[in-house]
Structure 1
Amino acid sequence: MDGTSSLHTVSQDVVWVCVYVFLAAWIIGAVYFGTRSNGGFRGWMRNARGTLPARVGLIAGVAVVQLATRGDHGGTWRHLQYWTPALAIVGMVLAVASTALLLWARWVLGTMWASVPLLQERHELRTGGPYGLVRHPIYTGLLGLVLGATLAGGFGAWVVALVVAVPWLLHRVTVEDGLMAGQFGDRYAEYRRQVPALVPRPRRR
């Protein structure tokens, strides 16, 4: 195996480690913070049943993407392939950084997190940590992870995942902004004015 082939394999492995770390943290965090929420274990179980389709859908989507991006598959995605070592390195760095952002944001959000947009009982507005950089750092992390995977994997099937992820996440941003605005009114309007949705902007001095 030459250096280029080795880097290609490593870049793919790094991406999938990031994906699995995110999924593990997502599941463990749901249980850990869910049982400590205001509704307790029973409340978490009720919410878990209600959001089960979304959870299953995400896991199924990840499985489909993995099957599509692993192996040759008869050259199905060859017309979308463009892999270079430089892009692979950028993609790996972006994937790792995005995963770190996802974990940070998930921890800070704590019991206020849900797998679908909704208001928790006695919902609190989080504005510290990563939520001081962007309003939706989990979505920023997800977009960064998919984009990093696209670059590291040489585009291919990841292009389809990116095309699906962008409008889906933008829709979620719109829905969640509406929920938060309805719940927190002027406070959220001011937060929204000061903090961008997904892409951090330079601080004014």
Structure 2
Amino acid sequence: MSRSRTLLLALVGTLAYLGLAVLGRGGFMAFFSQPPLVALTLVLFVLSGLALFTRGNLSSGVREDRRNRWVLPVFGIIGLLSAFLPAYTDRLDVWTFGGDGLRWLGVFLFAVGGALRMWPVFVLGNRFSGLVAIQPGHELVTDGIYGMIRHPSYLGLMVASIGWALAFRSGVGLALVALTLPPLLARIQAEEALLRTEFGEEYEAYCARTSRLIPGLY
């Protein structure tokens, strides 16, 4: 897929995600009457704007593990539910907890998680693909944040997802975050298996001194 099509897809996805949240919350007035949700929207568009300056792609590169593609529609379905249901349950006040303080905590976590998710995309450039694939000229990055954890982008995704759920005070949103874990871990295992075949002992040594997601824990 070309870069222009990838960026267009990202823009459409952002607008659709926000649109589902606005719909779930009961319309523009209901959504934007909450200052934390206004801030959440601004963070969402800032992160989307930053994505325009990255070189991430959906290229299958020189070698791809196509067996892992099943996680993409799963992520898509969970993503659509996460866009709509937290806002919807917030409107109905079902499975909700906390108040504005929790909403602002959610906005903060969404911003931090989003930044953490974007950071590796800038670091890896065109080696960052939405597919499990080895790209042309692929090199193993082991410094910076990659010197501590091997999958910072996925950690950022989880933190941002938790933040989104908390911005709507949504227990359902947190349950959807939990449902994201099995396909995410399957994705991590597929990536690490492919990198082992590409980099061999160098990657094994790298794994021995780093954590997958949380330093010192996992």
Task: Identify whether the pair has TM-score above 0.5, normalized to the shorter chain.
Answer: yes
Q: For 1:19 and 1:62, locate their aligned partners in 2 and report how far apart those are by CA, in whole Å.
A: 14
3-state secondary structure, aligned to 1:125: coil
The 8 Å contact of residues 83 and 153 in structure 1, kept in 2 or not, is answered as: no
1:69 and 2:86 aligned: yes
User: Are positions 1:87 and 2:102 aligned together?
Assistant: yes
Answer whether contact 1:130 1:137 (CA < 8 A) is retained: yes
Query: How far off is 1:150 after superposition?
Result: 2.0
Superposed displacement of residue 68, structure 1? 2.3
Q: Which of 2, 7, 11 lines up with 2:36 in the alignment?
A: 11
Structure 1 residue runs of 5 or longer lacking an equivalent are none
Deviations, residues 42-79 of structure 1 (Å, cap 9, x unaligned): x9xxx9xxxx998787566544432323346883x71x
Using the alignment, how far apart are the partners of 1:73 and 1:137 within structure 2?
A: 30
Residue 188 (structure 2) aligns with: 173
Instruction: For 2:43 and 2:71, locate their aligned partners in 1 and report how far apart those are by CA, in whole Å.
Output: 21
Q: Does 1:143 align with 2:158?
A: yes
- Following superposition, the deviation at residue 123 of structure 1 comes to 1.7
1:54–1:115: 8 Å Cα contact kept in structure 2?
no
**How many corresponding residue pairs?**
183
SS of the equivalent of 2:134 reads coil
- Looking at structure 2, the residues matched to 133 and 106 of structure 1 have their Cα atoms a distance apart, in angstroms, of 17
Q: 1:193 aligns with which of 192, 205, 208?
A: 208
User: Matches of 1:190 and 1:99 in 2, distance apart?
Assistant: 29
Check if 1:158 corresponds to 2:183.
Answer: no
Q: Secondary structure at the match of 2:97?
A: coil
Gap change, CA 1:94 and 1:74, over 3 Å in 2 = closer
Q: In the alignment, which residue of structure 2 is the partner of 1:114?
A: 129
In percent, how many aligned pairs have the same letter?
Answer: 23
Unmatched tracts of structure 2, length 5 or more: 1-29
Q: Which residue of 2 aligns with 1:97?
A: 112
Q: Tell me how large the CA RMSD over aligned residues is.
A: 3.7
SS in 2 for 1:198: coil
TM superposition score normalised by structure 1: 0.70
Structure 1 position 89, deviation (Å)? 3.0
Distance 1:120 1:90, change over 3 A: same
Task: Quote the Cα distance in structure 2 between the aligned partners of 1:55 and 1:24.
Answer: 23
Q: For residue 82 of structure 1, report the CA deviation from its aligned partner.
A: 1.3
CA contact (8 A) 1:8 1:88 kept: no
- Measure, in 1, the Cα distance between the counterparts of 2:71 and 2:43: 21
Closer/same/farther in 2, CA of residues 176 and 26 from structure 1, 3 Å limit: farther
